[in-house]
Structures are given as structure tokens and as C-alpha cells.
Amino acid sequence: MNYFTLISYTVSHFFLMLFIYLFIVHRYPNRITALICFTSFGVLNALDLVKLIFFPGSAICYVVVTILQIILTQSTAFFTSKEKSCQALFVGLSASSYVIAGAVSSAVIKIYSQSTALALAGGFAVHLVILVFLSVHTREICFKFQEKSSVKNCWELCLIPVFFYCSFSFIGFFPHTLYEHPENIPGVVFIVITMFVSYVAVLRYLESESKRSVIYWENMLQKSYIQGLKNRYYLVEQAEQNLKILHHDLRHYSRIIDSLLEQKKYGEIKEVNEHISHMADENKVEVYCSNLIVNTILSSMMAKARSLSIRVHLDARIPKETPVSDYELTLVIANLFENAIQCVKDFEEEKRYIDVKIYCLDDQLFIQTENEYDGELLIDSVTGLPKSQKNGNHGLGMQSILAFSEKINGTIGCYPEGGVFRMILVAKF
């Protein structure tokens, strides 16, 4: 029986390492990752020899070796992952839970058929079906999940595969096996079904939450864009009306100047010219940068800041064509600007001040917002970025900024010092 169990475990280890190889976002080239997985596969099999062949009756050996195998498996997933995060740990733990379902299938077929060959073939088939099904339906979701460092409550998610694995182990294998208590088979089968339903539901939920966040900010961007266009249209309309009045009044100004010339009152003529120049400047439509979409949002943000009596120093150098998506860049600028406005809007007038610098060149992006802050900041120990005072997690705006920074391989950080808070995003293209 131990040799059958040994072969069954070998098949499970093969699919376990294949699952890790296929579902983990690689840190190393494919060949190196494959070599690491193959090495772990060999060590897992060697440890199986120890607990099943050399010390088959030792419960202590079984427990110790199993713990070592668990550590080795999760270390392989964690070490080969591009981002050493809780997402990678979740995928590695999930791999262990998935493959144990195939091992259970082998045992069940063996119990009912008494055929070793049929049991091994059936177990292999179940492993293969599970792997193909998950590759088709959840692999892309797993990749996106690992790429999002801003996912909330990820460590809690890791408890799901841990408890499923423990349930399988204690009901089906230790301290008593299914061969000794075949009446446990229906319970194990339902645990397998529950596991698959739970995993698919969790991954689908994470995917829908990610899409919901994207849709939310796209709607917010469109709303700001439309409001910015309305503000710009209103300004242009007012400027045109005022310029018409100024054009009409130029005849009167001309007569005044002629009269002053005859009287040789040159100082008064200079004052009239300055007044005309001032009137023209007042009705000039402000242009903050060359990019139409970004300029529209900046116009909206500046109008909002003025309505709250917030002084803004804005230095925006953004060309018509940018190396990144204009809409994504605009969304990040709007979020950072909005965060700064929300921070200072309730301060005394002398402290309602924001400094914004945005430089988007051919090879580099630099965005910095600077404003005063009051009170205690909640800083995330993983991302190093501020968290919401309401729920202790990153808000949707900060999640959007993080996602953009990750997409362009940028670096983002916050620097509170001496009552001044700075947010800086830098990326090289």
C-alpha cells in the first residue's frame, strides 16, 4: 500500500509544481523557474521515501516530514514569484489544496475498485482535468491578482486554502486514512466541491471588484472632464462677451486718448493704455498645459480650488502627445489634486495652499503635490502610502494611483516632514 501511496504522491507533486509554474508570475526566466520547480519536485519525492518507506509506522516522522514538505512547497512558490507578496502565498497555498483533491480521488478509486492501475490512472486524470479547468478559467485572474499590490485583506484570504488543506489532511490522511474509514469519503467529496466553488467565487469577486474600481474612476474622470469642458465653455463665452464690450468701448477710449494727446497729458494716456491691457488680460482664457484632456481636468481642479479659497501654484509641462495614456495620466493627476484639496480645504486661509508640479517628458514622468497637513497620518507598512482615516485601507483613488504606477514601472512615495506632506510619483520610460 505504501508504494501505491508513494506513486500517488509523486503524481500529486508533479501537478503541484506544474501548478506553481503555470500560475505564479515568474521572477526568473522560464528555464530557471522550471529548474527550481523540478528540484523541489525531487526533494518532495525524497521526503516521501523517508515517511512512507523508511519510517512507515512513525507518526512523528510523518508529521515532521509533512511540515517540511509544506514549507518547501510554499518557499518554492514565494521564491519564484516576481513579487514576494501575500498574493503569491495565496496562489502557492491554493496549489496545495487543489492537488490534494487528485490524491483523494486516487484513494477513493482504489477503495471502490481495488485496482492500483485504475486508481493511479483515475487520479492522474482528475489532476489533469482540474489543471486544465483552472488554466482556462482562473489563470488570467490569478496573474492580475498577483500584479495588484493594493489588494485589501489578502492575508486573510490565505486562511481559505490553509483551512481547506487542514480539513483534507485530518479527514482523509492523518491520523486515520480513508482506507481505514471509508465512511469519510462523502464528507471529503463535499469538501472538494465546496473548495472549488469557494475559490472560483473568491477569484471572480476579486476580478469584479477590480473592474468596479476601474469603472468608478473612469466615470469620475468623465464627470470631471465634462465639468471641465463646461467651465471652459463658460469662461470662453464670458471672455468673448467682455471682449465685444471692450471692442465697442475702444472708440471711446480712442477719443479719450486723442483728447489727452491734444492736452499733452501723457501720464493719463499711459494709465488708459494700462487699463485697456488689464481688461484684455482679465478676459484671457487660462491654458495650463498643451495637452487638451489634462488641461481640461486642471481647469476643473483649479476652479474647485478657487471656490474653496485655496491658493495653488501649478507648474504643468505636458505636451500634446504623451508616452502614457492621456486618460490614465489625467486620472492620476485628478486623484492627487483632489486628495490635496480635501486635506487643506478646512484649514485657516493662510494654510490653504497647494503646490503641484507635473513634468511629462519623452523619457520621464514626474508628479509632485505638496501641502500642509494636520493630525496623525496612517501610513501603510507595505506600500508606504497614506491610508484612509475611515477604514484604515487605501481608498479607491490611492488604489488607482498605485495601479498606474505599477503599470508604468514607476516609483511612488509620500514624505511628511515638518507639517508639510509631499506625494511624488516618478517613472522613466
pTM: 0.55
In whole angstroms, give the CA distance from residue 185 to residue 176: 12
Q: What is the mean pLDDT of the segment spanning 222-231?
A: 62
pLDDT, one tens digit per residue, over 343-372 is 899 898 888 999 999 999 888 899 999 999
Q: Could you tell me if 301 and 194 lie in one domain?
A: no
- What is the reported pLDDT for 276? 65
In whole angstroms, give the CA distance from residue 304 to residue 317: 21
Nearest to 358 by CA among 332, 328, 325, 385: 332
In a domain, 141, yes or no: yes
- What is the reported pLDDT for 210? 64
The residue from 190, 215, 240 where one domain ends is 215
Strand pairing category for 411-417 and 364-372: unpaired
Q: Could you tell me if 152 and 13 lie in one domain?
A: yes
Q: What is the mean pLDDT of the segment spanning 119-132?
A: 90
In whole angstroms, give the CA distance from residue 418 to residue 422: 11
In whole angstroms, give the CA distance from residue 425 to residue 419: 20
In a domain, 43, yes or no: yes
In a domain, 170, yes or no: yes
Q: Could you tell me if 296 and 183 lie in one domain?
A: no
Q: Could you tell me if 40 and 171 lie in one domain?
A: yes
- What is the reported pLDDT for 147? 67
Under the banding of pLDDT at 50, 70 and 90, the label for residue 284 is low
In a domain, 13, yes or no: yes
Under the banding of pLDDT at 50, 70 and 90, the label for residue 87 is confident
In whole angstroms, give the CA distance from residue 153 to residue 10: 34
Q: Is residue 187 predicted with pLDDT exceeding 60? A: yes
Q: Is residue 246 predicted with pLDDT exceeding 90? A: no
Under the banding of pLDDT at 50, 70 and 90, the label for residue 166 is confident
In whole angstroms, give the CA distance from residue 421 to residue 336: 12
Q: What is the mean pLDDT of the segment spanning 201-212?
A: 70
Q: What is the mean pLDDT of the segment spanning 115-122?
A: 90
In a domain, 253, yes or no: no
User: Partners of 372 in the beta sheet?
Assistant: 420
Q: How many residues in the chain?
A: 429
- What is the reported pLDDT for 355? 95
Return the CATH number at 416.
Answer: 3.30.565.10
Q: Could you tell me if 156 and 61 lie in one domain?
A: yes
Q: Which three cell numbers stand for residue 410?
A: 514607476
Q: Could you tell me if 62 and 172 lie in one domain?
A: yes
Under the banding of pLDDT at 50, 70 and 90, the label for residue 392 is very low
Quick one: three-class SS letters along the chain?
Answer: CHHHHHHHHHHHHHHHHHHHHHHCCECCCHHHHHHHHHHHHHHHHHHHHHHHHHCCCCHHHHHHHHHHHHHHHHHHHHHHECCCCHHHHHHHHHHHHHHHHHHHHHHHHHHHHCCHHHHHHHHHHHHHHHHHHHHHHCHHHHHHHHHCCCCCCHHHHCHHHHHHHHHHHHHHCCCCCCCCCHHHHHHHHHHHHHHHHHHHHHHHHHHHHHHHHHHHHHHHHHHHHHHHHHHHHHHHHHHHHHHHHHHHHHHHHHHHHHHHHHCCCHHHHHHHHHHHHHHHHHCCCCCCCCCHHHHHHHHHHHHHHHHCCCEEEEEEECCCCCCCCHHHHHHHHHHHHHHHHHHHCCCCHHHCEEEEEEEECCCEEEEEEEEECCCCCCECCCCCCECCCCCCCCCHHHHHHHHHHHHCCCEEEEEEECCEEEEEEEEEC
Q: What is the mean pLDDT of the segment spanning 393-418?
A: 79
In whole angstroms, give the CA distance from residue 361 to residue 323: 8
Range of the domain at 146: 2-215
- What is the reported pLDDT for 367? 94
In whole angstroms, give the CA distance from residue 167 to residue 172: 8
- What is the reported pLDDT for 391? 46
In whole angstroms, give the CA distance from residue 183 to residue 266: 110
Q: What is the mean pLDDT of the segment spanning 171-199?
A: 79
In whole angstroms, give the CA distance from residue 244 to residue 257: 20
Q: Is residue 220 predicted with pLDDT exceeding 80? A: no
For residues 156-165, one letter each, b for 16 or more C-beta atoms within 10 angstroms of the residue's C-beta and e for the rest, the string is: ebbebbeebb
In whole angstroms, give the CA distance from residue 241 to residue 184: 85
In whole angstroms, give the CA distance from residue 414 to residue 416: 6
Q: Which three cell numbers stand for residue 209?
A: 471588484
| Selection from 69-73, 83-87, 153-157, 288-292 with the highest mean pLDDT | 69-73
Under the banding of pLDDT at 50, 70 and 90, the label for residue 154 is low
Q: Could you tell me if 328 and 209 lie in one domain?
A: no
In whole angstroms, give the CA distance from residue 119 to residue 66: 23
In a domain, 348, yes or no: yes
Residue scoring higher pLDDT (142 or 224): 142
In a domain, 241, yes or no: no
Q: Which three cell numbers stand for residue 427?
A: 517613472
Q: Is residue 415 predicted with pLDDT exceeding 70? A: yes
Residue scoring higher pLDDT (287 or 394): 287
Q: What is the mean pLDDT of the segment spanning 239-252?
A: 63
The residue from 200, 215, 230 where one domain ends is 215
Which residues, other chains included, contact 347 with Cβ-Cβ below 8 Å and sequence gap of 6+?
372, 374
In the chain, the number of structural domains is 2
The residue from 193, 215, 237 where one domain ends is 215
In a domain, 220, yes or no: no
State the Cα angle at 175 between 169 and 176, rounded to 5°. Answer: 90
Residue scoring higher pLDDT (427 or 172): 427
Quick one: three-class SS letters along 133-151?
Answer: HHHHHCHHHHHHHHHCCCC
Q: What is the mean pLDDT of the segment spanning 166-175?
A: 76
